[in-house]
């Protein structure tokens, strides 16, 4: 086992401390930061602005590691999914969704998830742990690797936006997520603007305030139901933080009118939450909040206890929301053929684990 510490995921102060520990002055940390996060360099030997002695010391004590790519798939619609193997052999997925004028990377914050939302495949995965900051930033970095965007071109970038909407609840791993996003937003490095980063939460109310005060990124809230009775059932976190508390936190979230709307995500489940009455209740609930409502057609997975609402029901729902003055785009499912769509992340990683186990057994035998 390599005991050398990974530099990816360290914030500026920690990198400075690591550099000082090797007997180098503070400005070296800044040079190193540039190599790591603006240039994406993975080989100390090529860091030509650093002295040979410093490079040797770095090689002796540190590595520059991304999560390992265990499996890579590309959908017919251009969506890509990476299954990433972490140091402890657990796995997460990251998904890239290309669009005409931008490209969004969907980043995971945990291995699995503890929330057990009834419609989400990730919630059925047993193994759960928080990702470290380096494992979160590493997902962004390996997408940049894949697109050769070091340094990032000014025009036509394939990676422009980040959504913390992969596996896990980011606000149950706040410290590591916050650290990773600060690294991602650093103007001398990955330089992603806070306007292009969206953090999605199932509604961990006390942490929403910290996101607003400390990070200022765009907020998405997985609402999915308009009564506590239903939301308790399909998003069990609601028992702890009911709808009224959640919406109060949304009202308090620092927004600038239309430029900074909150996104409410709403998964369309047939016969469960898809009626016009639900739509009317929804616009009443969010009245006064600068918002947009993202309607997500339910993505099925093996054994899922729901069906997707019909196109007509979704359209009817969208019309009510739109008439109330809220944009209500229906999210086109992307990457369904590779199980990369919302709520489908898990299967591939578990299958891959099973395959690894079989291979290991075969090896042992
Ligand atoms: N835990 C965070 C981050 C996950 S984001 C959150 O809940 O917001 C993933 C989004 O996809 C959430 O809005 C989630 O509710 C939604 N989702 C989960 N399963 C889905 C499915 N099967 N079909 C469509 N959307 C789903």
| Digit-coded pLDDT (tens) for 286-336 | 999 999 999 999 998 888 999 999 999 999 999 999 999 999 999 887 887
d(CA 279, CA 287): 12
pLDDT, tens digit (0-9, with 9 covering 90-100), for 64-90: 999 999 999 999 999 999 999 998 889
pLDDT, tens digit (0-9, with 9 covering 90-100), for 108-155: 999 999 999 999 988 888 778 999 999 999 999 999 999 999 998 888
d(CA 69, CA 322): 41
Q: What is the mean pLDDT of the chain?
A: 91
Residue 365's pLDDT band, with cuts at 50, 70 and 90, is: very low
Choosing from 114, 115, 165 the residue with most ligand 1 atoms within 8 A of its CB, the one to mutate for a pocket test is 165
**144 Ramachandran zone, left/alpha/beta (phi>0; psi -120 to 50):** alpha
Closest atom of ligand 1 to CA, residue 169? 1
Ligand 1: residues within 6 Å at CB? 117, 119-120, 165, 169, 200-202, 222, 265, 267, 296, 298-299, 342-343
The catalytic residue among 169, 229, 342, 350 is: 342
Q: Do residues 241 and 203 lie in contact, with contact meaning Cβ atoms separated by under 8 Å?
A: yes
Q: Over the range 122-156, which residues count as b (16 or more CB within 10 Å of their CB) and which as e?
A: bbbbeebebbbbbbbbbbbbbbbeebebeebeeee
Distance 305 CA to ligand 1 centre (A): 15
Peptide bond into 151 cis (omega under 30): yes
Distance 75 CA to ligand 1 centre (A): 20
CB atoms within 10 A of CB 63: 15
State the pLDDT at residue 126: 78
93 in catalytic set: yes
User: What value does the mean pLDDT take over residues 171-190?
Assistant: 97
Residue 363's pLDDT band, with cuts at 50, 70 and 90, is: very low
Which percentage of the chain shows pLDDT scores above 90?
81
* Helices assigned H by DSSP within 49-154: 52-61, 133-147
What pTM, to 2 d.p., does this model score? 0.92
Q: Does 364 have pLDDT greater than 50?
A: no
Closest atom of ligand 1 to CA, residue 343? 19
State the pLDDT at residue 300: 87
d(CA 74, CA 78): 6
Residue 258's pLDDT band, with cuts at 50, 70 and 90, is: low
d(CA 364, CA 23): 47
State the pLDDT at residue 125: 81
Choosing from 92, 197, 265 the residue with most ligand 1 atoms within 8 A of its CB, the one to mutate for a pocket test is 265
User: What value does the mean pLDDT take over residues 46-59?
Assistant: 97
Q: Do residues 192 and 37 lie in contact, with contact meaning Cβ atoms separated by under 8 Å?
A: no
């Amino acid at each position: 086992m390599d005991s050398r510490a990974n530099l990816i995921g360290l914030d500026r102060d920690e990198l400075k401390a690591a550099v000082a520990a090797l007997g180098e002055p503070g400005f070296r940390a800044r040079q190193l930061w540039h190599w790591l996060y603006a240039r994406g360099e993975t080989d100390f030997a090529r860091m030509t602005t650093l002295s040979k002695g410093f490079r040797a010391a770095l090689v002796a004590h540190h590595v520059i590691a991304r999560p390992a790519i265990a499996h890579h798939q590309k959908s017919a619609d251009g969506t890509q999914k990476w299954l990433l193997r972490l140091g402890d052999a657990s796995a997460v997925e990251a998904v890239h969704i290309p669009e005409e004028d931008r490209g969004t990377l969907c980043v995971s914050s945990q291995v699995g998830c503890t929330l057990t939302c009834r419609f989400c495949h990730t919630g059925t995965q047993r193994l759960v742990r928080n990702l470290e900051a380096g494992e979160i930033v590493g997902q962004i970095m390996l997408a940049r690797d894949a697109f050769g965007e070091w340094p990032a071109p000014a025009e036509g970038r394939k990676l422009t936006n980040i959504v913390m909407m992969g596996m896990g609840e980011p606000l149950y791993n706040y410290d590591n997520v916050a650290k990773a996003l600060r690294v991602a937003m650093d103007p001398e490095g990955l330089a992603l603007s806070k306007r292009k980063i969206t953090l999605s939460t199932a509604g961990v109310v006390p942490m929403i305030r910290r996101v607003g005060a400390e990070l200022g990124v765009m907020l998405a809230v997985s609402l999915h139901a308009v009564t506590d009775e239903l939301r308790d059932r399909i998003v069990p976190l609601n028992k702890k933080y009911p709808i009224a508390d959640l919406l109060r936190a949304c009202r308090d979230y620092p927004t600038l009118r239309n430029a900074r709307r909150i996104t409410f995500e709403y998964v369309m489940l047939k016969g469960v939450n898809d009626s016009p009455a639900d739509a009317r209740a929804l616009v009443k609930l969010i009245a006064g909040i600068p918002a947009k409502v993202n309607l997500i057609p339910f993505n099925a997975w093996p054994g899922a206890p729901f069906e997707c609402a019909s196109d007509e029901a979704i359209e009817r729902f969208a019309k009510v929301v739109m008439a109330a003055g809220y944009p209500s785009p229906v999210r086109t499912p992307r990457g369904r053929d590779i199980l990369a769509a919302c709520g489908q992340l898990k299967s591939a990683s578990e299958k891959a684990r099973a395959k690894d186990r079989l291979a290991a057994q075969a090896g042992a035998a």
